[in-house]
Structure 1
Amino acid sequence: MKRLLFSSITGALAFALILSGCSSKKRTSIDPGRNSTATGIAYSKDNKGKKPKKGQAAQADGFQVNAFKGQPAGPNLVYIEGGRFTMGTVEEDVTYSRDNLERTVTVSSFYMDETEITNLHWLEYLHGIQKDSSQEFYESALPDTLVWVNKLSFNDQFTEQYLRYPGFRMYPVVGVSWVQASDYCKWRTAAVNGEMAVRFGPKAKTSKKDRSAPTTEAPQAKTGGRLAIETGNVLPGYRLPTEAEWEYAAKAMIGTQYMDENQSSQRIYPWDGSSMRKPKGGQKGTMLANFKRGRGDFAGIAGHQNDGGIITMEVYEFPANDFGLYNMAGNVNEWVWDVYRPNSFQDVNDLNPIRRSDYLDEESLYDKKGFNSLIDNKLRVYKGGSWNDVAYWLSPGTRRYLDQDSATATIGFRCAMIAIGPKGKRKL
């Protein structure tokens, strides 16, 4: 009888354990639970900021797990869901460069600025570095306003006014080199994370005895003016997008998907079809980008301009693509991270491709010193077409290059950032 009772109790306990195991909540990065699944030791503070349950003897110096709701989307950033796409030119290769042949690659999810960096953004940058950088660096960050100068064209007003006049605030900054754009990305990373440290860092408390004497809680670790990475209240670095990321985001093939993994069509431009005009709706027939329609035709005729942009235009002027990104064709070309090589399409990896150096395609092979080539390790790719380009260059698959220290009135940029872990819904 005792043996039978023992067996019944054992069976009931085993069944209960099975049920509890089946009903236990799966741990995630957002909700890792109150105690470690490896050791069973309670965290000093769980991911929701609550104290451990009764019986879980958490200590003040125990392992701390901070509340986390997902990676916050930085200001102006749009989430770009990664995936597979066919990278490369779909236009006729009129330059016969054959430097971007079609191939299938995969890009991880990332964030990208919904607009090009504007004059107002750059003036904010100049203000910031003037306070905490050397005069030499400040002067090196000034855009080259002389990019508008042309001995046979009257562009004097743009040379003097384009960067600083309030009427041009939301126009894309130009006259910045690849190096200057990269420096801006570093400053922006520090500025945003510094603001997050103020917003989410430990707050000063006032003593009950003396309200005028502030006391502080034990601060969370900081590095270079930012919170510790473990807090979740720190963003990865802003940077220039890779060529693959830029092209993927510009095509926005998500708008052509109709079932499973099938896509209805390839895209020549960041919108459907081969026309440069809006095909339907209240603004039918209006241009979808700011570009040069033909020799001498930058905007059409007065009273009925085709795109309205004799030079650049405000960054929200034209419709966004299916990822919510503005001016991925036209307005200004945009710098990307990659070093230019004509054979990158066959050399780079098919997962997150990038060429960051002359690995597998050495600089010495091109003999620039002997004037047999223009190619060296300072050439950087730019893409997208501009107000001064014909429609051919507005196709995301086309690519050109320029020395990383050079600047023109037709090249600007926007920033990108890696997406880490589960997609969060946080907004700063």
Structure 2
Amino acid sequence: MMNFSKYLRFAVVGACALAACKGGPPTATKPGKYSSTTGIEYNTEEGMKVSDYQGIPDGPGLVFIEGGRTVLGSAEEDIAMTHDNLERTVTLASFYMDEAEVANIHWLEYLHYVRKDSSEEFYQSALPDTTVWARELSFNDPYVDYYLRYPGFRYFPVVGVSWLQANDYCTWRTAKVNERLAGESDEGDGGGSSKGGGLFGRKKNKGGDAAEGTSEGGGTKIAIENGNTLPNYRLPTEAEWEYAAQALIGTQETGNENQENKRIYPWDGRQVRNPYGKNMGQFLANFKRGRGDYAGIAGSLNDGAMITEYIYNYPPNDYGLYNMSGNVNEWVQDIYRPLSYEDVEDLNPFRRNGFLDPSEKYDKKGYQSLIDDHVRVYKGGSWRDVAYWLSPGTRRFMAEDSATATIGFRCAMINAGSNK
């Protein structure tokens, strides 16, 4: 039984904590020395371990996307007559997204570590399909051999990657970044910031063990409670991707909650050329201008790219994201259904397998449909697409194990520890 003096001490400490007698009420970054419900001191032999937390660590390559209300759906004439993305109002929680598409050098880094740490079978499964460049009636042979590995193409978007391969990359990236965070959690700054958010450029959480036990696979299990690790890198949902591409913060007037302007593309206006300044008349994305016209004429190559382009080329949108239209289409998480716009929720909408609109309704075996539970949405338009597909509301789909020279991807991440 607890003696009276010890009981009195806990009572006094608890009363002080409950009354927030110093510095106001407790918060995630300032939880106080004592529990506000039991009065027991943290980080003692008896008390619970509470690590120092200064906010989610900065993830390499990510930029913050402030969420909010928007109208998703196609803002262009539905020339394909698909009627599969009608306008509807939704709310998206804030999240993070890669400022640029995953590039060849990033995929080569992935292959480097996969070859070191995984089986040869998995390494072979991670190789992009470089034959996507091969065309029977085109001399694209050099791209088959050189596009992925030649140094000049390092920061061009990786292509020939299926949806399944992109997901594997996200899993690896999560593990590799958190492995570094766990290893350096008790050290100094250990590395500078990079464009778009360095690993330790802004915040650093200290205290507590970053690793705790082993996972089912035998690897190190990361302790989420310490705040020293990042949530999973993953493909963005279709709603997140479309919202980020719209970047309507650039059209918002101060103090006015009404969204008075909507964009056809990730930039202002109904045109695809820059209407301002010294770059007036220059295209704002890499796309196909018409049959046989990929770049313009010699001496005046407007968009400057017969195929893909440097991932940081063309002006970023108002969220700081590059090439949300053109260059390459991008995989998103969602399976494809033509009725997604009416079936999904209006808060953080996402289309997953096994709910509503079952695949049995689609006659794929009878060759009357291409839809099943293994087709995924891709968005954004590419170097080989006409301007119609540059609009964020347009959507297409392809089998999750397929790849082309026109589809790449970028990663996203939840904004952990916040309700905004």
Q: TM-score, normalised by structure 2?
A: 0.87
Secondary structure class of the residue paired with 1:221: strand
Please say if 1:138 is aligned against 2:123: yes
Report the count of equivalent residues.
Answer: 379
The corresponding residue for 2:27 is: 28
Residue identity in the other structure for 1:96: M
Tell me by how many angstroms 1:262 deviates.
Answer: 2.0
Match of 1:68 among 53, 69, 78: 53
The corresponding residue for 1:179 is: 164
Tell me by how many angstroms 1:31 deviates.
Answer: 1.1
Counterpart mapping for 1:224-263 below 5 A: 224-225=219-220, 227-258=222-253, 259-263=255-259
Deviations 1:283-326 (A, max 9, x none): 11111100001111000011111100110001001111000100
Counterpart mapping for 1:73-88 below 5 A: 73-88=58-73
The corresponding residue for 1:372 is: 368
With over 3 angstroms needed to count, the CA separation of the structure-2 counterparts of 1:218 and 1:27, relative to structure 1, is closer
On the 8 A contact 1:178/1:380 being kept in 2, the answer is: yes
Tell me by how many angstroms 1:422 deviates.
Answer: 4.0
Tell me by how many angstroms 1:264 deviates.
Answer: 3.2
With over 3 angstroms needed to count, the CA separation of the structure-2 counterparts of 1:71 and 1:167, relative to structure 1, is same
Match of 2:310 among 294, 310, 314: 314
Deviations 1:329-368 (A, max 9, x none): 0000000000000001000111111111141111111121
The corresponding residue for 2:411 is: 415
Tell me by how many angstroms 1:73 deviates.
Answer: 2.2
Secondary structure class of the residue paired with 1:285: coil
Match of 2:390 among 390, 394, 401: 394
Tell me by how many angstroms 1:423 deviates.
Answer: 9.4
Please say if 1:350 is aligned against 2:346: yes
Residue identity in the other structure for 2:411: C
Q: Distance in 1 between matches of 2:209 and 2:280?
A: 61
Residue identity in the other structure for 2:404: T
Tell me by how many angstroms 1:27 deviates.
Answer: 1.6
Q: Distance in 2 between matches of 1:377 and 1:221?
A: 37
Tell me by how many angstroms 1:227 deviates.
Answer: 3.6
> Which residues of structure 1 form unaligned runs of 5+?
1-16, 45-58, 204-216
Secondary structure class of the residue paired with 1:335: strand
Please say if 1:126 is aligned against 2:101: no
The corresponding residue for 1:198 is: 183
Secondary structure class of the residue paired with 1:351: coil
Q: Distance in 1 between matches of 2:328 and 2:58?
A: 25
Q: Sequence identity of aligned pairs in percent?
A: 61
On the 8 A contact 2:74/2:87 being kept in 1, the answer is: yes
The corresponding residue for 2:41 is: 42
Q: Following TM superposition, where does structure 1 have runs of at least 4 consecutive aligned residues deviating by more than 4 angstroms?
A: 20-24, 217-220
The corresponding residue for 2:284 is: 288
Please say if 1:221 is aligned against 2:212: yes
With over 3 angstroms needed to count, the CA separation of the structure-2 counterparts of 1:423 and 1:353, relative to structure 1, is closer
Deviations 1:66-113 (A, max 9, x none): 111101121000111111100000000000000000000111111100
Q: Distance in 1 between matches of 2:23 and 2:347?
A: 36
Q: Distance in 2 between matches of 1:31 and 1:231?
A: 14
With over 3 angstroms needed to count, the CA separation of the structure-2 counterparts of 1:274 and 1:240, relative to structure 1, is same
Q: Distance in 2 between matches of 1:148 and 1:24?
A: 62
Q: Distance in 2 between matches of 1:228 and 1:393?
A: 43
Tell me by how many angstroms 1:195 deviates.
Answer: 0.7
Greater shift after overlay, 364-373 or 268-277? 364-373
The corresponding residue for 2:293 is: 297
The corresponding residue for 1:279 is: 275
Secondary structure class of the residue paired with 1:184: helix
Deviations 1:189-246 (A, max 9, x none): 110000111111589xxxxxxxxxxxxx988525433541111101111110000000
Q: Distance in 2 between matches of 1:305 and 1:27?
A: 59
Secondary structure class of the residue paired with 1:263: coil
Q: TM-score, normalised by structure 1?
A: 0.85
Q: Distance in 1 between matches of 2:46 and 2:416?
A: 28
Tell me by how many angstroms 1:24 deviates.
Answer: 5.1
Secondary structure class of the residue paired with 1:282: helix
On the 8 A contact 2:182/2:210 being kept in 1, the answer is: no
Residue identity in the other structure for 2:60: P
Greater shift after overlay, 193-202 or 376-385? 193-202
Tell me by how many angstroms 1:32 deviates.
Answer: 1.2
Residue identity in the other structure for 1:368: K
Q: Distance in 1 between matches of 2:20 and 2:182?
A: 40
Q: Distance in 2 between matches of 1:317 and 1:102?
A: 30
The corresponding residue for 1:208 is: none
On the 8 A contact 1:70/1:422 being kept in 2, the answer is: no
Q: Distance in 1 between matches of 2:359 and 2:258?
A: 41
Match of 1:104 among 85, 89, 111: 89
Deviations 1:381-401 (A, max 9, x none): 000000000000000000000
Tell me by how many angstroms 1:60 deviates.
Answer: 3.0
Q: Distance in 1 between matches of 2:210 and 2:105?
A: 34
On the 8 A contact 1:126/1:142 being kept in 2, the answer is: yes
On the 8 A contact 2:209/2:226 being kept in 1, the answer is: no
